[in-house]
Amino acid sequence: MSRVLEGRVAIVTGAGRGIGREHALELARQGAKVVVNDLGASLDGRGASDAPAHEVVAAIREMGGEAVTNGADVADFEQAAAMVRQAVETFGGLDILVNNAGFVRDRMLVNTTEEEWDAVIRVHLKGHFAPLRHAAAYWRAEAKQGRQRAARVINTSSGAGLQGSMGQTTYSAAKAGIASMTLVAAGELGRYGVTVNAIAPVARTRMTQDAFPEMMADAASGFDEMDPANNSPVVAWLASEEAGDITGRVIEIEGGQICVEEGWRHGPRQDIGRRWEAEEVGKALRDLLASAAEPEQVYGT
């Protein structure tokens, strides 16, 4: 069987458990050398342990692959830079960045504290930005030296960020930001041979099994639609050289279903040719809304 990532070098953040673990294992099966990043924090982001990352590295080596551990806090700018350097110094380069790390502190909006907001935004949004920023700088330098790589970035958004989710204001805001970051990065980095896409995975993980217990129940038999491993083959292909014509996309994965998300688009419009008067706006806007597509419902409504 051909391996679509033979000889390529990947970083997977948050790869000690759940979806990230499955990504790391699948990328290794497909021939990639993997930097397995995980801080080993609890579900709410507190504490640290190197055990989860070491276990994944051991599993990859047992299957005959190559992997090293990394315990960086991905939202720390300098630690993220060191993680990229580790990949280059250990394996001779970097081709793939899978941004996956994150945690939740779910609250209804009126109960969310400033500390909870800052912590979740930091790990998801800055935790995507910092590794991407340093990887992009490396790829730009490589391109300028005539060594342009077929580089791939796969970010992790969520249905909560695309459609919204009750009780997850902070998480939804962070994941929406990741989707927008993906679009801009794709536009900026294409000149250096870099594609940037995002997935919106659906899976049974520490973050979802308590929030959506009925949806995340174990499959009684047959195909388990909530298995985290369902998402990883899509990530592996997006990380391949073959996927060079796909960028700036957000792809939702649920069981055996792949869905290309269609985000904000210009809809119905009316140009009055001058500044609007406040009393004119109501009728015009209601007419436009009547012909616009209905928004999808927020999860949990």
pLDDT along the chain (301 residues), means of 10: 91 96 98 95 61 96 98 98 98 98 94 97 98 98 98 97 95 97 98 98 67 52 87 98 98 96 95 97 97 92 86
CA distance 130 to 32: 22
Q: Residue 109, class by beta-carbon neighbours within 10 Å (0-12 exposed, 13-18 middle, 19+ buried)?
A: exposed
Predicted confidence at residue 2, as pLDDT, reads: 77
Specify the CATH number for the domain of residue 156. 3.40.50.720
Q: The pTM is what?
A: 0.91
Instruction: Assess if residue 28 is contained within a domain.
Output: yes
CA distance 31 to 22: 14
Instruction: Assess if residue 281 is contained within a domain.
Output: no
Instruction: Assess if residue 286 is contained within a domain.
Output: no
Instruction: Assess if residue 289 is contained within a domain.
Output: no
Predicted confidence at residue 226, as pLDDT, reads: 87
- State how many domains the chain has: 1
Q: Which domain holds residue 87?
A: 9-260
Instruction: Assess if residue 79 is contained within a domain.
Output: yes
Enzyme catalytic residues:
158, 171, 175
